[in-house]
Amino acid sequence: MKVTSLMIALIASLLLYVSAFAQTNMTGTVLRDANLRTGPGTTYPVDGGIKAGQTVTITGQNSDKTWYHLTDGHWIFAALVKAKTAASTPAPASPARAPSSTETDPYTNKLLASASALKLATDQLNANIAQVKNDNALFVSPTWRSELSVSLGLIDAAALGFIALPSPPARYTQSDKEIRAYAQQLRAGITMVRNGFAQEDVNLISQGATQGFNAIRALTTTIQAATTQ
């Protein structure tokens, strides 16, 4: 398989947003007129533009922090934005709340444990991607691919943790359905990425990475909203 920066970026996209469990979003001011792109780099198509002085909300960034991802799904070059961290609020994954209702709730505890497992697994996958970005020759290395497979397996196991959650309290009824559905989508994305590597199919890797990215972002948003009610 030909190694390209585009393919590596597609794989990396699978886990850009898990850090949102431990961070608040940022707002930023655009410093000058800028292009908005479909991915974190100039190799991605331009998909609109934004004027100097406009305010944007930043939900994440690529691994080397040179591009910001915005709430509307676009990417913008980070140097063109003056970012400001949102007002100091507790991290969504561990919001301030009365211990009687949350710390003793088995569903919430397991939900947050699964979220933590997902973040750890995707952090490990991020490390795999960083390695191959620095040395493309690793892409065909059996050792590197074995490590990547382990990381993907850990993400899959974390997704299973969401699916295996106990029956939810009443306040989680709707979000629980969404969390389980997104977890299923994440598992399907992981399967596509694995099959793409096995078949040397760039398109399948791309589809799987995109589906996994969307599922993780949706999981993050839904869990944040559910646990800060």
How much is the pLDDT for 16?
47
Q: Cα separation of 95 and 82, whole Å?
A: 27
The residues of the chain scoring below 50 in pLDDT are: 1, 5-6, 14-24, 86-104
- Let me know if 205 is exposed, middle or buried by CB neighbors in 10 A (0-12, 13-18, 19+): buried
3-state secondary structure of 169: coil
How much is the pLDDT for 99?
38
Name the pTM for this structure. Answer: 0.62
CA dihedral (15, 177, 221, 93) positive or negative: negative
How much is the pLDDT for 174?
92
Tell me which residue of 62, 51, 56, 54 sits closest to 25, measured CA to CA: 56
How much is the pLDDT for 49?
94
Query: Hey, what are 149's tokens?
Result: 């497979």
In SS3 terms, 107-136 reads as: HHHHHHHHHHHHHHHHHHHHHHHHHHHHCH
How much is the pLDDT for 207?
82
Contact between residue 206 and residue 8 where contact means Cβ atoms under 8 Å apart? no
Query: Hey, what are 162's tokens?
Result: 């969401």
How much is the pLDDT for 88?
34
How much is the pLDDT for 63?
61
How much is the pLDDT for 97?
38
How much is the pLDDT for 50?
95
Degrees (nearest 5) of the Cα angle 142, 16, 41?
Answer: 90
Q: Cα separation of 188 and 23, whole Å?
A: 27
Tell me which residue of 44, 50, 88 sits closest to 70, measured CA to CA: 50
3-state secondary structure of 34: strand
Q: Give the number of other CB atoms < 10 A from CB of residue 149.
A: 15
Q: Per residue in 15-38, is it b (16+ CB within 10 Å) or e — as a string? A: bbbbbbbeeebbbbebeeebbbbe
Task: Tell me which residue has tokens 């585009």.
Answer: 6
